[in-house]
Amino acid sequence: MPGASLLKKPTSEDLDLLSEISQMLTLIDREQLLERVIELTAKAFGAERASLMLNPDVPEDWEQALIKYRRGDGGIERVEQSQSVRFARRVIRDGLAGWVVRERAGVVIADTREDSRWVTFDDSTSSARSVLCVPFQTANAVIGVLTLLHSDPGHFDTSDLQTLTIIANQTTVALHNATLFSRMRYKERQLEAILSAMPDSLIVLDQSGRVLRANHIAAAWLDTTVEALAELSIDDLSRRESLLELVRDVRRNPLQAGQSWSFETHSENRGRDYLLNISVWHSSVDGSGGYVVVIRDITTLRDLNRFKDEMLHIASHDLRSPLALITGYCSLIEFEIPEESPVKEYLGAIEKATHRMQGLLDDLLRVEKIRTSPMEMVEPVHFADLVTSALNQMRPQFDARHQQIEVHVDVESALTIHVNSSMIREAIENYLENANKYTPDGGRISVYSTVEGNRINFVVEDSGIGIPPTALPRVFEAFYRVPRPESDEVVVGRGLGLHLVKAVIERHKGEVWLESEPGAGSRFGFWLPVN
Ligand code: ADP
């Protein structure tokens, strides 16, 4: 059936084909769409053979699909990848398809023997005499070439070319949609895989508190299925699990992009500890937003932590008495032996070592006390006064090293806050002592105390040796000291000061932070809530 008749005098068979073609254009399965295109166009134009080469992603490389059609021969055949690539590259380089790609135009060849654009390759088994070949083109590139063949000369004419070009243009749009859809499906599958590989429960809510998405762990945790979860709202969920009331509380605040909250909490009915993380998500594309809730079971971690605290407690208390005994007996022996005895020297070494151990135990006890004791002695103080008195106390140390001190204390930071003043003062002193220790003689140290909203900020900036990026996350750990080259002057310390600062500030519901550049200096800061 020469295709020209399709538009000129449509028979009912032609109309059926037209309706099949328009249905084909709505297909969203890319593979299915490609097979239907080749099958239906071959049928519509009475072609004996057809081929479709396609490369929507890398148009210049033509590495993708080659689908062939042969009438009465079982129809569609998908060519094996390596063979397909070889064929596609060859005809794009030397054959008619290449001409179509370069000219960005379709072509009808009435007789292949009389048209130089038709190239017969040595190994070709084709006996084609007439050819119809059209590009699938987008605004930027040719993404496919469809070729229909017939062994009779003159089988196709220019009106077939026009009709096939219209179909090709429509197919390009459908193909684009199908490609987008398959990419979306791929991304969706990727997301699914990530969500189900997560060891934590995850629930995504929209602005109104409806569940948009949840993973299997969350569903199992709430004793339901992912599908059933998607029907629920956060109010339904918090009725099931009281822990999620925290999310309801957070939602009372206005939604602000970038915000997040973290809660460590214990579930009475489950008898387990959880870390609940709630972050705001926001799309700048359509202004939508909501919350991502991640729930992590931290029972084992907390148990380990309790165990560690107990061990520290036991070690620090139980080692004190034997140490005191050693020191006591050392003094006794010292009395008993003559002045010139070499044993005196040994005793001195023993005393020095026990003294160091005692210092270490004292530090351990201090950390433990800050972390575990109730917040006693909370009193109203002027934060600025604490800063000034700590600075005054440190002044001789700064002077001894000829360090230049700049103080920026804004008026508002004189306001009253309720804290354990000796603890906070210790934290301020610690930052100042470190700036003094780790800044060379003649260096510059700036101290800032400001108020922003309901926070007091305290910052100590120095022009000292700085901290390498790899060590930054660790400096607030207990007993961590930044490894320094041996050539550097050894600064005494046990690596506990910053840990104490962190413990104190966190007990006051504030946060510590740090920025540093090796060789240029450091900025240590903390903020405290104004209560
Ligand atoms: P330490 O007793 O060793 O000073 P800290 O806990 O106070 O213990 O500090 C931990 C480590 O952080 C220090 O060993 C030091 O290497 C680094 N550090 C602290 N403050 C500064 C600073 N202002 N400049 C450079 N390094 C610092």
Residue pLDDT, tens place only, 471-494: 998 999 888 899 887 656 656 778
Nearest residue (by CA) to ligand 1, atom 11, is 481
Atom of ligand 1 nearest to the CA of 465: 25
pLDDT tens, position by position, 274-302: 999 999 998 888 888 899 999 999 999 98
Q: What's residue 466's pLDDT?
A: 94
Nearest residue (by CA) to ligand 1, atom 13, is 481
pLDDT at 73 over 70: no
The strand pair at 444-452 and 404-409 is best described as parallel
Angle at 153 between CA 148 and CA 158, to 5 degrees: 60
Q: Per-residue DSSP letters for 232-301?
A: -BHHHHHHH-GGGHHHHHHTTSPP-TT-EEEEEEEETTTTEEEEEEEEEEE-TTT--EEEEEEEEE-HHH
Band of residue 65 on the pLDDT scale cut at 50, 70, 90: low
Band of residue 4 on the pLDDT scale cut at 50, 70, 90: very low
Q: What's residue 5's pLDDT?
A: 46
pLDDT at 63 over 70: no
Output the CA 371–ligand 1 centroid distance in Å: 21
Structure tokens belonging to residue 419: 């804290």
Separation in Å, CA 220 to CA 214, 233, 234, 298, 409: 10, 17, 16, 17, 53
**What does the pLDDT average to over 187-197?**
92
Q: Of 162-176, 301-315, 396-410, give the range with the top mean pLDDT.
A: 396-410
Q: What's residue 518's pLDDT?
A: 92
Give, to the nearest 10 degrees, the angle between helix 158-197 and helix 30-44.
Answer: 170
Output the CA 522–ligand 1 centroid distance in Å: 10
Select from 261, 98, 278 the least CA-distant residue to 202.
Answer: 278
User: In this structure, are residues 69 and 51 in contact, taking their beta carbons and an 8 Å threshold?
Assistant: yes
What 8-state DSSP symbol labels residue 465? -
Pocket of ligand 1 (CB under 6 A): 434-435, 438, 462, 464-467, 475, 480-482, 493-499, 522
* Burial status of residue 146 (CB atoms within 10 A of its CB: 0-12, 13-18, 19 or more): buried
Q: Hey, is 206 helix, strand or coil?
A: strand
Select from 135, 126, 137 the least CA-distant residue to 47.
Answer: 126
Atom of ligand 1 nearest to the CA of 460: 23
Distance CA 208, CA 405 (A): 52
What is the percent of the chain where pLDDT is above 70?
Answer: 90
Band of residue 3 on the pLDDT scale cut at 50, 70, 90: very low
Pocket test for ligand 1, best of 482, 484, 492, 514 (most atoms within 8 A of CB): 482
Atom of ligand 1 nearest to the CA of 435: 23
Pocket test for ligand 1, best of 370, 446, 475 (most atoms within 8 A of CB): 475
Strand-pair partners of 145: 53, 135
pLDDT at 29 over 80: yes
Q: What region does 66 belong to: left with phi over 0, alpha with psi -120 to 50, or beta?
A: beta
Lowest mean pLDDT among 103-107, 151-155, 179-183, 500-504: 179-183
Compute how many other C-beta atoms are within 10 angstroms of the C-beta atom of residue 93: 12
Output the CA 525–ligand 1 centroid distance in Å: 13
Output the CA 388–ligand 1 centroid distance in Å: 22
Select from 120, 123, 122 the least CA-distant residue to 131.
Answer: 120
Q: Of 28-32, 54-58, 108-112, 173-177, give the range with the top mean pLDDT.
A: 108-112
Output the CA 482–ligand 1 centroid distance in Å: 7
Nearest residue (by CA) to ligand 1, atom 8, is 495
Q: What's residue 164's pLDDT?
A: 93
pLDDT at 422 over 50: yes
Atom of ligand 1 nearest to the CA of 481: 14
Q: What's residue 358's pLDDT?
A: 87
Distance CA 91, CA 67 (A): 14
pLDDT tens, position by position, 294-329: 999 999 998 988 887 788 778 777 888 888 899 999
Atom of ligand 1 nearest to the CA of 482: 16
Band of residue 236 on the pLDDT scale cut at 50, 70, 90: very high
